């Protein structure tokens, strides 16, 4: 039978932002409930070596780091519920009893005085089998996260928008050679970014080229190249590279919140410039669902902390409610 859960603070999403929000909320005696969603741990569950998260002198595994965050959240008093929120009634504010209502895929109803949305964003992928197979062997969607591992090597960046150009420029600080592969004959990126790209001697642009396959070798298998097809002539070619960065954008996991709080045209939740409050009082957003620029575990954790503290302050001005 479906259950009804009551909480002062409901966290939706189990990535760095969600776990951090839950940790701070639990320490504030808010007895938070965290609904994990489809991918507990978020993007870090497909990340191998994490070398830029503060506190670790040597690289740690992404899944391990998320397991530690989960354990800490539970240790301080967070209740984890393995469910997926499929409906949220937020835009009209809390009900007469002071609670927002959300419904899980299980049928369970969650009644919360405040809500932190931390559902993250998913990198867009090419959809190749080899791309998925090699995600732990040299295929990445985050140059800031993984560029360090390609010092002195050759990499490929796939895409033609701002993200691809920014990733390519960043990678020149580590790699000796960066190949930008774009399926069209012009870039969509801002003009100033294009100028920086074209003037960088480490970057070579390959126009009208589509990636047919990402090539791997060795045991364990790692990236050794990309197979390309000319989008105009159909000619096939091969490019030897040590790593591939897919930079064709991200999709925010707005789900049932898309029409409940204000979002931008791409679906990222809009928050106050100096905080995490959304267009609905008592509803906050943290992590990649509201951050289309940095998308780092440490910045997600920071906004998770902010969201919990803001929720606590919001609750301090509300009289205690009686469960119904």
H helix runs in the chain, sequence order: 16-27, 62-75, 129-133, 143-146, 162-171, 191-198, 297-315
The CA distance from 268 to 45, in Å, is 22
Residue with tokens 């791309």: 131
The number of C-alpha atoms within 13 Å of 131 and in the hemisphere containing its C-beta is 18
The CA distance from 309 to 317, in Å, is 13
Parallel, antiparallel, or unpaired for β 60-61 and 49-50? antiparallel
Residue with tokens 């928050």: 271
Catalytic residue set: 142, 145-146
The CA distance from 171 to 104, in Å, is 41
């Amino acid at each position: 039978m479906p259950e009804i859960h009551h909480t002062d603070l409901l966290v939706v999403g189990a990535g760095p932002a969600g776990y951090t929000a839950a940790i701070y909320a639990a320490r504030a005696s808010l007895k938070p409930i965290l609904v994990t969603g489809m991918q507990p741990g978020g993007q870090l569950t497909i990340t191998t070596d994490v070398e830029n998260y503060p506190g670790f002198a040597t690289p740690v595994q992404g899944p391990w780091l998320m397991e530690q965050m989960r354990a800490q959240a539970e240790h301080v008093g967070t209740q984890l519920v393995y469910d997926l929120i499929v409906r949220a009634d937020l835009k009209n504010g809390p009900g007469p009893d002071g609670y927002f209502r959300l419904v899980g895929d299980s049928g369970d109803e969650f009644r919360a005085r405040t809500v932190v949305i931390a559902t993250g964003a998913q990198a867009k992928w090419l959809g190749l089998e080899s791309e998925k197979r090699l995600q732990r062997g040299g295929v990445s969607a985050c140059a800031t996260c993984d560029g360090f591992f390609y010092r002195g090597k050759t990499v490929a960046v796939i895409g033609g928008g701002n993200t691809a150009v920014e990733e390519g420029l960043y990678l020149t600080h580590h790699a000796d050679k960066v190949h930008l592969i774009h399926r069209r004959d012009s870039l969509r990126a801002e003009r100033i970014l294009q100028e920086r790209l074209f003037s960088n001697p480490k970057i070579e642009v390959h126009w009208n080229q589509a990636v047919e396959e990402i090539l791997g070798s060795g045991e364990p298998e790692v990236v050794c190249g990309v197979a390309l097809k000319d989008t105009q002539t159909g000619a096939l070619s091969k490019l030897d590279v040590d790593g591939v960065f897919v930079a064709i954008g991200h999709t925010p996991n707005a789900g049932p919140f898309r029409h409940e709080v204000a979002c931008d045209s791409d679906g990222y939740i809009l928050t106050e410039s100096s905080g995490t409050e959304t267009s609905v009082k008592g509803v906050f957003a943290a992590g990649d669902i509201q951050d289309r620029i940095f998308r780092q575990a440490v910045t997600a954790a920071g906004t998770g902390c902010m969201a919990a503290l803001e929720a606590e302050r919001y609750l301090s001005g509300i009289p205690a409610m009686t469960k119904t």
